[in-house]
Amino acid sequence: MEKINMTTPLVEMDGDEMTRILWKMIKDELICPFVDLKTEYYDLGLEHRNETDDQVTFDSASATKKYGVAVKCATITPNAARMTEYNLKQMWKSPNGTIRAILDGTVFRAPITVKGIEPCVRNWKKPITIARHAYGDVYKASEMKIPGPGKCELVYTGEDGRETRELIHEFAGAGIVQGQHNLNESIESFARSCFNFALDTKQDLWFATKDTISKKYDHTFKDIFQDIYDKEYDEKFKAAGIEYFYTLIDDAVARIMKAEGGFIWACKNYDGDVMSDMVSSAFGSLAMMTSVLVSPEGYYEYEAAHGTVQRHYYKHLKGEETSTNSVATIFAWTGALRKRGELDSLPELSAFADKLEQACLSTIESGKMTKDLALITTLEHPTVLNSEGFIKAIRETLEGLL
């Protein structure tokens, strides 16, 4: 078979630990034999980040702006223990945080659904994608403990020195206070990323806040979304046969439990943080969750939602067998290859991505899976494979499909 052609390179961001091991196996077994793979390679492994004073992370984000599509392996976010383990010059920041700040995106997380791994919520038939705004609110809040009686106010001082005040509370005794903010520009990017992603994936978009209680703060989110929708997206949504719908957060939560899935749920920062954990565990496993960062300019960075699976890596280093699930990392590759195919008008490349995904699902549905899935599957007598064996089984299925 002739290899499938690529014209523009993918930005390839290699990573750490067990996922770095899987990364190489995936390329060797599932991609390079079939695709004339073109990538611009950036080694975001912690050792190389440390050697380059983290410059490599910045360079990889710039490259993503140049080429438009990146695929990223999970990376270590250093903490005190990692400082010693890797003898680091500094406690380098989270690469995901750095990349997100440069690309200014929204993170979309979607479960990979497969027969045999059933959601706990019986009526969920299709994936629910969470779109999480990744700036501000409680994550950038200022807080105070109020020691005793006194007046607490919000004060805005304009550039001309004029003050606007809003009473928070006349404290009669001790208490607490918190000041949150967000930026219209960031909310606008969030809205556009969500609308574009809905059009891209042909799914309805839900958005919900607590605007009945928060008449200025949350209401601004609602108004910005509605305004951009009316001006820029209404016709496009109608043409695509999809819907944008806003409701109160309580109503959204109630409806989600009764819905079938197959839509995107846009969430403010805190709601997205909490709800994505609920949705992913209700669908089965973190190892079956994809994640893509979409910028308002239309740059895409694909990755798995899980981390570097450190515990499995230490077993691997000791020469013990591991059974690490590579599906989310494979789907990061297929997401990126399919997007490259769309942007470069290479339908064969996109079709290959579809087949590779199909091969993963069929392999699991045939009862061959890693240990994490074997523990929760409804299929009887699953065959538990090791990390490499599972990838080889997917290759066999893929060769049958091609």
Residues near ligand NAP (CB under 6 A) are 74-77, 96, 286-287, 303, 306-311, 324-325, 372
- Between CA 186 and CA 106 the distance in angstroms is 10
- Between CA 299 and CA 130 the distance in angstroms is 18
Give the shortest CB-323-to-ligand NAP separation in angstroms.
7
Touching Mg ion, residues 170-189 (CB under 5 A):
none
Residue 307 binds Mg ion, judged by CB under 5 A: no
Residues 38/97, Cβ–Cβ less than 8 Å: no
Cβ proximity to ligand NAP: between 272 and 341 the closer is: 272
C-beta nearest to ligand NAP: residue = 307
Give the shortest CB-349-to-Mg ion separation in angstroms.
34
Q: Phi/psi at 129 (nearest 5 deg)?
A: -100, 125
Residues 148/173, Cβ–Cβ less than 8 Å: yes
Q: For the stretch 234-259, what's the b/e string if a residue is b when 16 or more beta carbons lie within 10 angstroms of its beta carbon?
A: eeebeeeebebebbbbeebeeebeeb
Give the shortest CB-230-to-ligand NAP separation in angstroms.
35
Residues 306/286, Cβ–Cβ less than 8 Å: yes
Residue 39 binding partner per list Mg ion, ligand NAP, none, with a CB distance cut-off of 5 to 8 Å that depends on partner kind: none
C-beta nearest to Mg ion: residue = 273
Residue 128 binding partner per list ligand NAP, Mg ion, none, with a CB distance cut-off of 5 to 8 Å that depends on partner kind: none
- Between CA 396 and CA 359 the distance in angstroms is 8
Residue 363 binding partner per list Mg ion, ligand NAP, none, with a CB distance cut-off of 5 to 8 Å that depends on partner kind: none
Give the shortest CB-118-to-ligand NAP separation in angstroms.
18
Tokens coding 65: 């702006």
Q: For the stretch 68-83, what's the b/e string if a residue is b when 16 or more beta carbons lie within 10 angstroms of its beta carbon?
A: bbbbbbbbbbbeeebe
Which one of the spans 116-124, 129-137, 267-275, 320-328 is the region binding Mg ion (CB under 5 A)?
Answer: 267-275
Give the shortest CB-85-to-ligand NAP separation in angstroms.
10
Q: Phi/psi at 178 (nearest 5 deg)?
A: -145, 135
Cβ proximity to ligand NAP: between 256 and 393 the closer is: 393
Residue 273 binds Mg ion, judged by CB under 5 A: yes
Give the shortest CB-70-to-ligand NAP separation in angstroms.
13
Q: Site residues (CB under 5 A) for Mg ion? A: 273, 277
